Amino acid sequence: MRYGTLLAGLLLGGLAHADDSVVRENLLGTWQLQSGDTHESWSLESDGASLRVTRKDDGKVSLDVECKPDGSMCKGVDEGKKVQVTMYFNGAALVQIETRNQEVIKRRFELDGHGDLTIDLNPLNEPAKRHSLQLVRLAKVADR
């Protein structure tokens, strides 16, 4: 009986992982903040081995990071300053931890129930408050 339970657990775990990979692929694309007051957009692209995250403010690149999403350290640029970044998947969510000098910020990219992107920003060692960004896929912005 134990082997049947183990096999069922492995099969269900494999199905959950397959679902996560489909959701992870849905993170890819270009996203824009829902509020019309700002022109901030985020782009997530993959070449299969690495993941590139880019943020643009009014069309100008303000964040550019490319890493393997396996937890290894890589380098990038945020607001013109060099940063070290680690990216990995926690289930269907992409987690990005950025270190610039002594500042550390954790970003969590995740789709909500409507297919829109939520980015939770959590400064880990500074007094700034945790907040979230709500973004829609750029193609949807044109439709609204």
* Mean pLDDT of the 51-65 span: 95
| Phi, then psi, of 135 in degrees rounded to 5 | -125, 150
Structural domains in the chain (count): 1
Q: Is the dihedral of CA 45, 51, 55, 61 positive or negative?
A: negative
138: helix, strand or coil: helix
Give me the pLDDT at residue 5, please. 38
pLDDT digits (tens, 9 = 90+) for 13-48: 443 444 567 768 999 999 999 776 778 999 999 998
Look at residue 131 in the predicted model and tell me its pLDDT. Answer: 92
Tokens for 40? 């901030």
Q: What is the pLDDT of residues 68-111, one digit of tens each?
A: 999 999 999 999 999 999 999 999 999 999 999 889 999 999 99
Q: Select the more confidently predicted residue: 3 or 56.
A: 56
Q: What is the pLDDT of residue 45?
A: 96
CATH number at residue 50: 2.40.128.20
Count of CA atoms in the C-beta half-sphere (13 A) of 15: 5
Domain hosting residue 133, numbered range: 2-143
Q: Do the beta carbons of residue 44 and residue 27 sit within 8 Å?
A: yes
